[in-house]
A and B are shown apart, each in its own frame.
Chain A
């Protein structure tokens, strides 16, 4: 693919003024006029839909922030804003299923059950960390701060928005649990989930616990290694409706690959080739778990802007180390979206889904490729031509 500068071409002067009006309306957060649909067409050299085979020389048509059509023969309607990326490739916006990027909430503390803590109340969008994540290709973050025990409610957030409220994809978020293999943390978690399972808990945040136990919202749970996995699988046994997502940090979870594979467990792993403990052996844990049959999503190794910026390269390293390209792309997009219960609107480029996409000058896993543009719900939130953040 050629490295070609992107150009935005206005189809007519009339649409230009309408577009300006629409953008103005968007910026104020007011709904668009009913008869005035905001239409965007992305012309791409290659589209990785993640919902089927890649489309070469195709068009993504976006109407009012949602994908209307994807394919090689999609007609661009008159008046549409056209994003020209014939020399580049388009991917679904990246989704991070567990991060504290840009949060100021203090982690740690004594083990407790605090389901009433809402990350949504901690959002602070007037810092650049999330915008910088957008520049690295991310459109969605599951934000929460780790506190031992029941940490609270996850904020499902856009990386770029006008304010804290606008960041939120949904008023309701998954349940976040920070597991530690000690007595107090385990009894705090067990007590809270048991209470919710037995006829619901009425205390603050009780509805969130109930939704998590009933499987209406995912249960995100941290674990530091294989030993924790064994304990968590045992701990969650009574709650068979719950949809747990295991957020693993360890470099030894491959030792329970069989158990995780047999359960087709949802596992989130840092994107890196790790060292097998106390050896010189390098191990590709995401690959080993994916091959065992687990659903593997990857997060940046190092929950910082630098980590997010290194993410694509780290994923490429995993592919270089034997993870299939398909598994890697899914681990960055549709799988984390599915784990967060957001696959109905995120994670792939299909009709009806949010128009969250990354436009690159080349392949997502190619370190040489540049992020040219990032769209969230059809709106450009990052453009390389801007020469900086906006």
Chain B
């Protein structure tokens, strides 16, 4: 049985020392241990979907959450993680993660590496699920492939949750040719679908009819038109946002807008069409001196989108783990991005949703991840403080009920651990 306690900085080392001397970790040391039921007790559980349970218990069996409540009897023989005084959160969901998969692959599944250092970084930062894209639109309006990936370190088959989950579309006023091509493709596919339904009606009525021909390359457009997959469109300015909204009006497709900066200026329009938005509250953009209407970034964008009723996910300015630069604005400090939205007037609950359940919903994986609910994957992080506070660290990360990151044993933050007192200087010669 593994016991964990919340300890102050001074007593922490006292706890660490025996842990270091005790030899190999108890948790995750073989299959039978993983099959044992697991209980996380005493922590403040931020369920995201059902409020906060102070000093509650989470039971995990076979990698799934079986119970989340205030008063739960811990089953006999369960592995217990003591999270007293700590914060328990669902694993964070990154709505985009770059760098996990190298370029060159045609789909994500062919290039996943379960031992990638990016996974180690993700686990240390509390990210357990991410959207990953390889390639993208180049000379064509659509391109590349994408997937939702879980950070099941060492387990290749467990990584892939869904592929693809969206269609990347280049639809911007700066690329008018691609815009026109995309509209044309959509219109052609829509015409095909209209003819197809007429043909099926005729056939059912016993009329003679020719089956319409599937236009070349229309499969993706049909997925969009049937709303099976959303289009992910980069649209930072109001003009691009409104152009994308026009697509919704004309073709009824689902749209996720990425990198939105001027969303606050057209929040009502976005809300009206139920379009999803991805924002980075720390992105700054100066207003346009030549335009009378409001332009540029606003630190209150998140709060304003919320007021208008727009669903949004939050992503850091740099959407990767970059130990070589961009530190502080990348996924290492993911929750900090949400904290900036709170600084701009957003409520904490929505800010936390924007890095957990909302991206899970946008990616279509909210049946498995994004909140602490019975039946969901046991992707759980335990923090040593408030999730949106800058000095908070991830203490433990569990994916599918397995501890894959333990700050007290990992080397990544070893330099921040309390260090032992320096040894006594040798006696000076007399």
Chain A contacts to B: CB under 8 angstroms: 180-184, 186, 225-228, 230-231, 234, 252, 255-256, 276-281
Contact A183 B411, beta carbon cutoff 8 Å: no
Contact B115 A183, beta carbon cutoff 8 Å: no
Residues of B within 8 A of A278 (CB): 117, 120, 323, 411-412
Chain A: CB-nearest residue to B106: A183
Residues of A within 8 A of B105 (CB): 181-183
Q: Given A181-B105, A182-B102, A230-B156: A281 and B411 within 8 A (CB)?
A: yes
CA distance A171 to B68 in the complex (A): 68
Residues of B within 8 A of A228 (CB): 113
Residues of A within 8 A of B110 (CB): 181-183, 186
Q: Given A255-B154, A278-B323, A278-B412: A182 and B114 within 8 A (CB)?
A: no
* B92-122 with Cβ < 8 A to chain A: 102, 104-107, 110-117, 120
Contact B104 A231, beta carbon cutoff 8 Å: no
CA distance A230 to B159 in the complex (A): 13
CA distance A279 to B113 in the complex (A): 19
Residues of A within 8 A of B156 (CB): 227, 230-231, 234
Chain B: CB-nearest residue to A226: B115
CA distance A368 to B134 in the complex (A): 52
Chain B: CB-nearest residue to A250: B115
Least distance between B20 CB and chain A CB atoms (Å)? 14
Residues of A within 8 A of B104 (CB): 180, 182-184
Q: Given A227-B156, A278-B412, A279-B411: A181 and B111 within 8 A (CB)?
A: yes
Least distance between A106 CB and chain B CB atoms (Å)? 19
Contact A227 B116, beta carbon cutoff 8 Å: yes
Interface centre among B112, B114, B115, by most chain A C-beta atoms within 10 angstroms, is B115
* B144-181 with Cβ < 8 A to chain A: 154, 156
Least distance between B153 CB and chain A CB atoms (Å)? 9
CA distance A180 to B101 in the complex (A): 12
Contact B115 A252, beta carbon cutoff 8 Å: yes
Q: List 18 A-B contacts (CB under 8 A).
A: A180-B104, A181-B102, A181-B105, A182-B104, A182-B110, A182-B111, A183-B107, A183-B110, A225-B113, A225-B115, A227-B113, A227-B116, A230-B156, A234-B156, A255-B115, A278-B323, A278-B412, A279-B411
CA distance A121 to B186 in the complex (A): 53
User: Please, what's the 1-or-0 string for B320-346, where 1 marks a CB less than 8 Å from any CB in chain A?
Assistant: 000100000000000000000000000
Chain A: CB-nearest residue to B153: A255
Interface centre among A180, A227, A281, by most chain B C-beta atoms within 10 angstroms, is A227
CA distance A227 to B149 in the complex (A): 15
Contact A230 B411, beta carbon cutoff 8 Å: no
Residues of B within 8 A of A234 (CB): 156
Contact A227 B114, beta carbon cutoff 8 Å: yes
Contact A277 B117, beta carbon cutoff 8 Å: yes
Residues of B within 8 A of A227 (CB): 112-116, 156
Residues of B within 8 A of A277 (CB): 117, 120
Residues of A within 8 A of B115 (CB): 225-227, 230, 252, 255-256
Residues of A within 8 A of B113 (CB): 181, 225-228
Residues of A within 8 A of B111 (CB): 181-183
CA distance A42 to B273 in the complex (A): 89
Least distance between B339 CB and chain A CB atoms (Å)? 26
CA distance A183 to B112 in the complex (A): 11
CA distance A228 to B156 in the complex (A): 11
CA distance A321 to B57 in the complex (A): 46
Chain A: CB-nearest residue to B119: A227
Residues of A within 8 A of B116 (CB): 227
Residues of A within 8 A of B120 (CB): 277-278
Residues of B within 8 A of A182 (CB): 102, 104-106, 110-111
Least distance between A70 CB and chain B CB atoms (Å)? 44
CA distance A252 to B117 in the complex (A): 9
Least distance between B86 CB and chain A CB atoms (Å)? 26
User: Please, what's the 1-or-0 string for B336-380, where 1 marks a CB less than 8 Å from any CB in chain A?
Assistant: 000000000000000000000000000000000000000000000
Leading 6 A-B pairs by shortest Cβ distance:
A227-B113, A183-B106, A226-B115, A182-B104, A182-B105, A183-B110
User: Please, what's the 1-or-0 string for B13-40, where 1 marks a CB less than 8 Å from any CB in chain A?
Assistant: 0000000000000000000000000000
Contact A184 B112, beta carbon cutoff 8 Å: no
CA distance A160 to B120 in the complex (A): 47
CA distance A252 to B120 in the complex (A): 12
Interface centre among B104, B106, B117, B323, by most chain A C-beta atoms within 10 angstroms, is B104
Least distance between B117 CB and chain A CB atoms (Å)? 5
Residues of A within 8 A of B107 (CB): 183
CA distance A183 to B154 in the complex (A): 21
CA distance A278 to B206 in the complex (A): 69
User: Please, what's the 1-or-0 string for B295-323, where 1 marks a CB less than 8 Å from any CB in chain A?
Assistant: 00000000000000000000000000001
CA distance A255 to B120 in the complex (A): 13
CA distance A279 to B114 in the complex (A): 19
CA distance A231 to B116 in the complex (A): 13
Residues of A within 8 A of B114 (CB): 226-227, 230
Residues of A within 8 A of B154 (CB): 255
Least distance between A112 CB and chain B CB atoms (Å)? 14
Chain B: CB-nearest residue to A256: B115
CA distance A330 to B295 in the complex (A): 71
Least distance between A185 CB and chain B CB atoms (Å)? 8
CA distance A77 to B107 in the complex (A): 68
CA distance A227 to B115 in the complex (A): 5
Residues of B within 8 A of A186 (CB): 110
Chain A: CB-nearest residue to B115: A226
Residues of A within 8 A of B102 (CB): 181-182
Chain B: CB-nearest residue to A111: B104
Least distance between A320 CB and chain B CB atoms (Å)? 23
* B397-430 with Cβ < 8 A to chain A: 411-412
Interface centre among B110, B154, B412, by most chain A C-beta atoms within 10 angstroms, is B110
CA distance A280 to B112 in the complex (A): 26
Least distance between A264 CB and chain B CB atoms (Å)? 21
Chain B: CB-nearest residue to A185: B104
